[in-house]
Chains A and B, each alone.
Chain A
Amino acid sequence: MSYQMLMISLSHQTSPDLGPLDDLIACPTCDALLHVSVPDVGGKARCHRCHTTLMAPKDSAMTRMLMLSVTAVVLMFAAVFFPFLEIGAGGRTQRSSVFDAVLVFSDGLLLPLTAALAIFIVILPILRLSAMSYALAPMALGNKPARHAERAFRLAEAMRPWAMAEIFIVGVAVALVKVAGLAKVSLGPAFWAFVALVIVTALNDTLMCRLTLWKTLEDRRKS
């Protein structure tokens, strides 16, 4: 078997005595009540009813996630301030960074669009990465969690669907093709920074084991 079934589900027959609540978890997807035993590093624990992966702890995940988050923040600056597209037509060339695109004097309908661009591509990803680094850094260094680490981590998780850097990359590619007839276009360094950013974020997300992290946070807080 490729994964370990370490969750023991409770049935109606065994229900009168549930034991201490700290030994139980409720599957966030289907609400099944499960007896928890944390799988070994590299193992996986799935819900018996809906088969959602509940825990998949990785080796020194916290340190690696912290490194990746910090890397991503650095890449983010490159992605925002370096030019990502160069457009030339009739002897004029225009190089633009995401920062320029957002700051360009925009009026009318362009204003809400650039605002959306700034929020989804720049502000939310940076907030998410900083919140994650803030929550992880003190714990990865082996100490107690920072004040409000819980709030920061919860915020980072809530922002996950709204951080859309990878979608932006595909958007740039489509824009490139659309504009090819009008002008000569080429990709700038920021585009590649964005590509690297997406890879780093994806790696970060695969390392992330929410339930284990929450448990560690709680244990460290108590001790």
Chain B
Amino acid sequence: MENAGRPTQILTAREAGLVGCRVCAKVHPRGTRACVRCGSPLRSRDAHSLQRAMAWLFAGMVLYVPANIYPMLLTTTLGQTSENTIVGGVIDLMHHGSYGIATIVFVASVLIPIGKFLAIIYLALSIEHPRSVSPHRRQQLFEVVEFVGRWSMIDVFVVAILSALVQLKALATVNPGIAAISFALSVVFTMLSALSFDSRTIWDSNRAAKA
């Protein structure tokens, strides 16, 4: 059989009138509802995937605003309470000289979420209006977004650990602020956004552009 070196020649399951399972890759005739091998629902292309991805993304972006404005952590030491926002916490850590940890928190809570918002918007736009960037590059970007998203949860876990553990009565107590909840939800929503995105559309849009 001919092994085409020209990638545009490759036939997709959709073009062949078939549906591929996204979980186990089994091929079915078009119109099959559920995969006979693994039972996952089958869709040739998820028509609403982009819409759903954008809806989750929007929810995540909205919640990211209070996550940055309101305090993440309320620390009471000997009767004095101090409040810390996400960025405030990073600055605090830098004042204490822990630059490494400050970098980790900054990357996880600021760079990754904002990068994710931009990346998903870019990917969505590139489907509607095909870009010159190759689908390989866009697929890589999508994989990075998928992989890196969960690491934003670091700061939420830090707050949960500190508030559950540091309850030394009069000496020191730590309590979570409202930002901790909105940030956690923001991360969960953007993860759902990435999960709803159908990567096959990245490859389709490229084909449509070339045709």
What residues of chain A have their CB less than 8 Å away from a CB belonging to chain B?
A: 8-15, 18, 21, 24-33, 35, 48-52, 54, 85, 87, 89-90, 92, 94, 96, 100-102, 104, 106, 108-110, 112-114, 116-117, 120-121, 150-151, 153-154, 157, 161-162, 164, 167-168, 170-175, 177-179, 181-183, 210-211, 214-215, 217-218
Q: Could you tell me how many residues of chain B have their Cβ less than 8 Å away from some Cβ of chain A? A: 79
Given A113-B180, A174-B154, A94–B168 Cβ distance below 8 Å?
Answer: yes
Chain A residue at minimum C-beta to C-beta distance from B105: A174
Query: How many contacting A-B pairs (Cβ < 8 A)?
Result: 245
B121 at the interface (CB under 8 A from A): no
Q: Does the CB pair B163–A110 fall under 8 Å?
A: yes
Given contacts A11-B11, A164-B150, A177 and B161 within 8 Å (CB-CB): no
A sample of 11 inter-chain contacts (CB < 8 A) reads A24-B18, A26-B18, A30-B199, A31-B12, A32-B11, A101-B161, A109-B178, A113-B176, A150-B39, A171-B161, A174-B158
CB of A27 within 8 A of CB of B165, answer no
Would A113 and B184 count as touching, CB distance under 8 A?
Answer: yes
B10 CB contact (under 8 Å) in A9, A168, A173: A9
CA distance in complex: A90, B78 (Å): 12
- Please tell me if B52 contacts chain A, counting CB pairs below 8 Å: no
Task: Give B44 Cβ to nearest chain A Cβ, in Å.
Answer: 8
Q: Is B196 an interface residue (CB 8 A)?
A: no
The chain B residues found within 8 Å of chain A, CB to CB, are 1-4, 7, 9-16, 18-29, 37-40, 75, 77, 89, 93, 96, 98, 101, 104-105, 135-136, 139, 146, 149-151, 153-169, 171-172, 174-178, 180-181, 184, 191, 195, 199-200, 202-204
Chain B residues, Cβ within 8 Å of A218: 37
Distance in Å: Cβ of B155 to nearest Cβ of chain A: 8
Q: Check B20 against A31 for contact (C-beta < 8 Å).
A: yes
Question: A57 to B15, alpha carbons, bound, how many Å?
Answer: 29
Report, nearest first, the 9 A-B pairs whose CB atoms are least far apart: A26-B20, A171-B157, A214-B24, A26-B13, A101-B164, A30-B203, A25-B25, A11-B9, A11-B4
B195 / chain A contacts, CB cutoff of 8 Å:
161
Question: Which of A13, A25, A172, A179 makes the CB contact (< 8 A) with B166?
Answer: A179
Known: A171-B157, A183-B172. A110 touches B164 (CB 8 A): yes
CA distance A125 to B148 in the complex (A): 18
Q: Which residue of B lies closest to A86 (CB)?
A: B165
- Give complex CA distance A87, B40 in Å: 47
User: Measured between alpha carbons, how far is A211 from B12 in the docked complex, in Å?
Assistant: 18
Interface centre among A102, A117, A210 (most CB of B within 10 A): A117
